[in-house]
Structures are given as C-alpha cells and as structure tokens.
C-alpha cells in the first residue's frame, strides 16, 4: 500500500526530499503557457473566448463572461440549508481568525521633532482563481476572499472555468457572494491568469492574484509575476503525520487518505517510532480505502507518493519533518504541545488526535492556502498581510536634518552619487 523506509544517511534524506514536485523545470509546458499569456496580452477578449471554447468546450460572448446577479440568485435556490449554515460557521471562524492579523500604522516622534513611521494600506484589487472541473471548492473561495475583505480590498475579482453548459458551480457562486466577491468571470486556466494580470476589454486588471490551480495555472502565475503580485506557486498537496506508539492507527489512515484523494501527485507521509503502528496503519488503509468516492486517485497517490518512515525516536522524527517542510504537519504523539518548539518548518501544524487536517481545510479559522514543495522553509500561509502593503513615512525637522546631513553626504560621496550629496548640501547652505 505505502512503501516503508528507514532513512539513515544524507543521500537518502535528499531522495526523500526530492519526491516533492519541482515547479521550475517544465520547459515544454511553460512554452505553451507563455504563448497563451502573450495572446491574451495582445488580443484580449478575442483570445480569451477562443481559449475558453478550446479548453472548456464552451462558446461564450463577451457579455456572457461575467456572472450576472440572476445567476447568483439562482445558485441560492440550488444549495441546501445545511450548506448555507455550514458556510456561515466557516465564514465566521475564518473572518475572526484573520481579523487578529490586522496591523496598525505607526509613527515614532524623536526628541528633535523628526517623525518616522510605517503606513499600512490595502491593495485596491485582488484576483481570485478557483479551480473547476470535477470538484467544487467553495472552501478555497472563503480562504482567499475573506482575508482580502478583512484587509480592506475594495475589488475582489473571481475567475473559475465554466461547465460545458456555460454555468459555474452553485456552491462556489454562493460562497463567493457570502465572502464579498465583487465580480465573477467564467474563465479558467492560464488564460484566466493572464486576463487578471493584464486586463482585457471585459476582465479588469488586478494588483494581486491568489488561489490554487493546475500546473498550467501555476506556470501562468509564474510568468506574469512582476506585472502583478502573487500569493505563492502551489504544488500538489502534502500531509506528514508524526506518530508514536500510542497513536490511533484508524485516525492516521483516515488523515493520510484525506490528502491522497486530492490528486495522484499528493504526498501522504507517516513518520513513526513504532513498527506496530506502521503495520496497523497499513491494515487501516486497506480497510478504509474501498469506501471512498475517489478511491482510485487515493490508491495511486498512496502507491506512488506515499511513504512510511520508521525512526528510532521522536528527535529523528522532528529532524525529518523539518527537513521535508510539509504543507500540513499532524502531531499525533503523547503530550503533543510539549513538542511544538521542535517544529521549525511547516505550513500548518495540527496538534493532537482531535485536530485532523480537514478541519483546517474548511472551518478551523487559519488559512488553508499553504506553502508546498518544501517552501514552508521560507513561505508562510496566506494571510491579511498578503492583501496590504507598507509605505515608509519620513519627516525630518530642521534640527533632525542637521544631525545626520554630514553623514549622509559622506555615504553619497563614497558611492559616487554627487547629486545625492548636493541635494543635502544645498539645504545645509540655506541661509
């Protein structure tokens, strides 16, 4: 079911880490995406409609690209009361968590009257990509749109590929309305990313693009970076469970499967100190797998990307977990909180047997848009910070200027920038 290894040397560690997908060596696909991006940039709506017909098998007019109020109202009639209630619970918890991330602008006044500070302002607009296809992801709508709304972004523009009948999933539409999305367009793929980055006659240009997608969407985001800001380049999902001999094997197996069903490239990983747990988890996977709707996807993920690492002690487990820097890290060991300080690199950390990763996916509160592919070593989860920018504020008094002017001139002269030095010198000579 899942292969078992005991990693004992540096070379094996590298092989373990190497199973994480690289997003930067896909030359052929990048060539295709580059052509799409350039066509959207040059031809706007014309190219956008052509690609929508080609890739989504939907023929739309420019007027049909934007979702109407009537379509959103109809979506409400197609979803259940239970779904609306669940959406409200998730919205409330996610909003409350992200409100705690808000920062205040600040000013610091020195004794001589000089004032220095930092000004926080929200982005004017943000684009949100929501995957389509066989699955609906209203949770992704909430996780991407609500932090932007909390931050104060005035225009949130959502794009999602249409079904073959030219509609969007009603659960996604309702989630978008609840999350305060301003405009919704029936476009997907690399062409949708390019439209958000450069604008077309119909689709507005935005300041930042967030949200997950397939490899073509990810490569398009990579190519448009600079013209627009991004959240991150997300890869296949990962869960790494650290378990001792007292962990519940049924819980471990269920949590591994919860990620395996995402994608055949998803990485379900167990690091354990117990051979007994290893054997019992394998048995539980065999028992639980046939019950899943997406069992074939999960089966392939377990077989090709799943791994169980046997380690001698928990210190080795934390070393390997930090080395891998997973998207999701579950800690199923006795006294889980005592080990938190040993974890350096993980997108989200789930402590204890009643904190399964799917709670984080839907409604716990923290964002489920997380760094993958080992990038948790230097990236953080999506947050309110992603939708604000900072400006420095400087106001020197005459007295404060006099204190630092000579030193500034010295530094300018060392760099050979005489106009910089002159800008300061003329103020020193002022009578």
Contacts within 8 Å (CB) and 24+ apart, 199-205: 199/44, 200/40, 200/44, 200/45, 200/48, 201/44, 201/45, 201/62, 202/45, 202/48, 202/62, 202/65, 202/66, 203/45, 203/48, 203/65, 203/157, 203/159, 204/125, 204/155, 204/157, 205/125
369 with 381: CB under 8 angstroms?
yes
Which one is catalytic: 98, 177, 328, 339? 328
> Is 183 one of the catalytic residues?
no
What is the chain's alpha carbon radius of gyration, rounded to the nearest angstrom? 25
> Is 328 one of the catalytic residues?
yes
Which one is catalytic: 327, 330, 353, 357? 327
Q: How far is CA 26 from CA 8, 29, 222, in A?
A: 31, 6, 12
Which structure tokens are listed for 17? 């880490």
**Residues 142, 147, 151, 156: what is their CA dihedral angle, to the nearest 10 degrees?**
-40
- Give the span between the Cα atoms of 344 and 323, in whole angstroms: 9
Supply the residues annotated as catalytic.
327-328
């Amino acid at each position: 079911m899942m292969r078992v290894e005991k990693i004992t040397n540096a070379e094996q560690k590298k092989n373990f880490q190497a199973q994480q997908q690289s997003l930067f060596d896909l030359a052929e696909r990048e060539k295709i995406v580059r052509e799409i991006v350039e066509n959207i940039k040059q031809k706007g709506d014309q190219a956008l409609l052509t690609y929508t017909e080609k890739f989504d098998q939907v023929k739309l007019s420019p007027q049909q690209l934007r979702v109407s109020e009537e379509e959103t109202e109809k979506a409400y009639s197609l979803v259940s009361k239970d779904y609306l209630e669940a959406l409200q619970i998730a919205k409330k918890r996610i909003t409350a968590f992200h409100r705690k991330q808000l920062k205040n602008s600040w000013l610091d006044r020195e004794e001589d009257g000089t004032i220095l500070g930092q000004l926080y302002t929200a982005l004017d607009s943000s684009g949100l990509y929501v995957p389509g296809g066989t699955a609906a992801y209203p949770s992704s709508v909430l996780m991407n749109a609500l932090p932007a709304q909390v931050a104060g972004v005035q225009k949130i523009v959502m794009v999602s590929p249409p079904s073959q009948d030219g509609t969007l999933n009603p659960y996604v539409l309702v989630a978008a309305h609840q999350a305060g999305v301003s405009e919704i367009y029936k476009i997907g793929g690399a062409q949708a990313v390019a439209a958000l980055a450069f604008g077309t006659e119909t689709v507005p240009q935005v300041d930042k693009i967030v949200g997950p997608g397939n490899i073509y969407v990810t490569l398009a985001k990579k190519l448009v970076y600079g013209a627009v800001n991004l959240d991150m380049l997300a890869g296949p999902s990962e869960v790494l469970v650290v378990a001792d001999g007292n962990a519940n094997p049924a819980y471990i197996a269920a949590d591994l499967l919860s990620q395996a069903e995402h994608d055949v490239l998803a990485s379900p990983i167990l690091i354990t100190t117990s051979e007994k747990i290893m054997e019992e988890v394998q048995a539980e996977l065999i028992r639980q797998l046939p019950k899943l709707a997406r069992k074939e996807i999960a089966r392939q993920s377990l077989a090709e990307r799943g791994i169980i690492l046997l380690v001698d002690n928990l210190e080795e487990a934390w070393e390997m977990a930090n080395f891998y820097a997973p998207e999701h890290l579950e800690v199923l060991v006795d006294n889980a909180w005592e080990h938190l300080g040993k974890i350096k690199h993980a997108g989200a950390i789930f402590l204890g047997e009643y904190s399964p990763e799917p709670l984080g996916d839907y409604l716990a509160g923290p964002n489920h848009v997380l760094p993958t592919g080992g990038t948790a070593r230097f990236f953080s989860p999506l947050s309110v910070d992603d939708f604000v920018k900072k400006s420095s504020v400087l106001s020197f008094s005459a007295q404060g200027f006099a204190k630092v002017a000579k030193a500034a001139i010295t530094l300018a002269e060392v760099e050979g920038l005489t106009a910089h030095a002159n800008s300061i010198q003329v103020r020193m000579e002022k009578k």
